Amino acid sequence: MFGKSCWIVAVILGAGLVANGDDQDKAPVSPVRQAPRVLSPKERNIGRFVADVEFQDAEGKPHRLSEWAKRKGVVIAVTSTSCPLSKKYLPTLVRLAEKYSNEGFVVLLVNPTATDSPQSIQEAAAALGKYGVYVHDREGNVRRALQLTSTTDVLLIDPARTVRYQGAVDDQYGFGYSIEAPRKEYLATAIDEYLKGESIAIAATEAPGCELEQEANAQTPGVVTYHNRISRIVQSNCVGCHRTGGVAPFSLESRDDLAAHAGAIARVVKQGTMPPWFAAAGQEGTPTPWLNESSLSSADQGDLLQWLKSDRPEGDPRDAPLPVRYATGWAIGEPDLVVKFPSPVPIQATGVMKYQNVVVDSGVTEDKWVERIEIRPGAPEVVHHILVFARPAQEGSAEGRGPPEDGISYWGIYVPGNSKQVYPQGFARKLPKGSQIRFQIHYTPNGEATEDLTQIGFVFADRQPDYEVRTASLVNSWFEIPPGADNHTDSAKIRLPTDITVLGFLPHMHLRGKACRYELVTADGKRETLLDIPRYDFNWQLMYRYAEPHTFKSGTTLKFSATFDNSAGNPANPDPQATVRWGEQTYDEMLLGYVEYFVPAGRAGEPSSDVDSLRLALSRDRDRMLFSSLDANDDDKLSLDELKKLSENPRMKLNPQLIGVFFTTLDADKDQFLSPDEFRKIRDLFRKRN
């Protein structure tokens, strides 16, 4: 998660804590998840005449649109071998090509990405086979003539070269989501209506994909060139993933790479989704509290966007930065122990996969202190994220619908571009003897069936560390999200039983997750926002790591609030009609705010009392979770009005009159409030009444 040297420097120098308060001005944000939006036919110029553009297919054979004037029509679908959404749609396009070529249509797959490799082009053309024509539009002639906008754009043109439909194939895949099967098959419906001689009901939609560059006047180059500025911005912020052998779908290692993907880069940079970072910005001029802040600075963003809009001057090669060399083997060095899947996990080509759980014995016969961890997916192109849990074999099963088994929570984590955790000297995680390693993997099919054989490597410390790194979880499994609710908020919190020093936060929700926030609430009710994420993206399980570990005092309340969108307006929503509760699969939900912290390691073989007290407060206390969700004002006590919210919980099934009786009975000190200890007795009363 963080490099050794930079983390130590950050601890020594410190960057301070920046509070993002509720009174801070917030700019409007774009939604992370975007499905195709139906447009007016005017917005896509439906009915326009298409020029008789000339081009060559993947085998070098020349063509022009007019040669198919006697066919029923031409279906033109943009594709790419490097755009993730295009890759997902390739099997769909091949299937449609087979169907409609047999019904008298010509199907063209047009690839406008100049840097897609010849081998990948040939493989995609082979997949299309006899059912269509594959075109590598390197010079952009077809793109310009047909006004293609993204790498998932499709057109239906009639024999007179009139555009009858332009937009998305369907709504199965889009920005930030994928679903098991399409709900709306825009292209197929349009073709079927066209074949029947009917007017096309939906003739235009957006086509979410890697945006294609639109024509613009070249700008006069300034002092900013690729070699003296842009290459450094990209090298620092992008190339760690976007490189040959990296986890990103295409490389950005050269000027040509940037030019080929200019439209897509500009879009995600403007939207703020690349580089991936979703924390709300702090006050202007205030240093960020986060060590791994990955958003572009205003200056970097401005220069990059301006360069992309210009004629992209190359500059003097002598100004170029030195190339970064990436490890080809284990990035943490040769591991002392490697644990891997006993057999490969098959990954389907399309659709959505449930979470996969793989449990493997670690084989360790004594406690080990681990200072370096690296998780290496066998098929990183389809691995969304991996959580690793290390627990003694007798502590619970691999499956379950309840919350995490204890306050330790995850032990290691993998997200694209972040596969390792390297702790500084004196810090380590404990791997207990006899531990089982449980891998929880979220796979995202990308259009090609494959297999994954993930492994994890450990480098052991040569002595017991001074500090033990742990992960706690603020969890609420009592929440219920009503059908159609687009802004449902619930929370989990803990009044700290001891001082804890926090390294960072990792929020976790599923497909309905919309926004979240970590807060600190003092005993007198003052609130401080620690981390505000106004638009949560399930596709990025990010750790937000403090530049300086931050200590929170005993008696303060640490709170994690989550907001969910269970409406039909959320394109990733599996079922807007469902009442949603806690569950492990993505069609369920989680309200889970991970907190990574460290404590003194204590004497060999003896856990620290600090560890035990926090564990006890966070582990297996379902009554405390319910208490936390009812405590609306975070004062660590319940009024009668707060307790009455139990009547809204179907699992408790308590009527308001009965709640009043319970309140009076449980309030032992008659202070008109229930303490956590008084509230815990509600289960006994409930059992007696039933």
Give the model's pLDDT for residue 405.
45
Query: Is residue 250 domain-resident?
Result: yes
**Percent of the chain beyond pLDDT 90?**
50
586 and 669 co-located in one domain:
no
230 and 296 co-located in one domain:
yes
Query: Is residue 578 domain-resident?
Result: yes
72 and 118 co-located in one domain:
yes
Mark the ranges of the chain whose per-residue pLDDT is less than 70: 1-31, 215-222, 284-285, 393-409, 417, 602-624, 648-654, 683-690
Supply 166's token pair.
């332009």
3-state secondary structure (DSSP) of residue 369: strand
Give the model's pLDDT for residue 8.
32
Tell me how far apart the alpha carbons of residues 602 and 464 are, in angstroms, rounded to a whole number.
9
Query: Is residue 343 domain-resident?
Result: no
**CATH code of the domain covering residue 74:** 3.40.30.10
Nearest Cα to 35, choosing from 171, 196, 220?
A: 171
Q: What is the DSSP letter of 393?
A: T
25 and 45 co-located in one domain:
no
Query: Is residue 527 domain-resident?
Result: yes
Nearest Cα to 561, choosing from 521, 527, 516, 525?
A: 516
Give the model's pLDDT for residue 460.
96
Is the CB of residue 565 less than 8 Å from the CB of residue 573?
yes
Residue where a domain terminates, one of 319, 341, 360: 319
Nearest Cα to 558, choosing from 635, 638, 479, 496?
A: 496
Distances (CA, A) of 211 to 107, 163, 260, 448, 603: 22, 20, 11, 22, 57
Query: Is residue 456 domain-resident?
Result: no
54 and 25 co-located in one domain:
no
Nearest Cα to 505, choosing from 294, 290, 274, 276?
A: 290
Give the model's pLDDT for residue 408.
45
Is the CB of residue 532 less than 8 Å from the CB of residue 584?
no
Q: First and final CA of the chain: distance in angstroms?
A: 50
Tell me how far apart the alpha carbons of residues 543 and 631 are, in angstroms, rounded to a whole number.
27
- The string of pLDDT tens digits covering residues 82-93 is 999 999 999 999
471 and 509 co-located in one domain:
yes
586 and 663 co-located in one domain:
no
49 and 9 co-located in one domain:
no
Q: Is 405 left (phi over 0), alpha (psi -120 to 50) or beta?
A: alpha
Give the model's pLDDT for residue 688.
54
**CATH code of the domain covering residue 612:** 2.60.120.230
- Number of domains within the chain: 4
Residue where a domain terminates, one of 285, 304, 319: 319
70 and 189 co-located in one domain:
yes
Query: Is residue 504 domain-resident?
Result: yes
Residue where a domain terminates, one of 283, 299, 319: 319
Tell me how far apart the alpha carbons of residues 500 and 600 are, in angstroms, rounded to a whole number.
10
Is the CB of residue 508 less than 8 Å from the CB of residue 474?
no
14 and 129 co-located in one domain:
no
Query: Is residue 298 domain-resident?
Result: yes
Give the model's pLDDT for residue 215.
63
Query: Is residue 69 domain-resident?
Result: yes
Residues 6+ apart with CB under 8 A from 448: 87, 349
Range of the domain at 11: 1-30+466-621
Give the model's pLDDT for residue 356.
92
Q: Phi, psi at residue 442, to the nearest 5°?
A: -110, 115
Burial of 126 (0-12, 13-18, 19+ CB in 10 A): exposed
178 and 247 co-located in one domain:
no
644 and 517 co-located in one domain:
no
Give the model's pLDDT for residue 540.
85
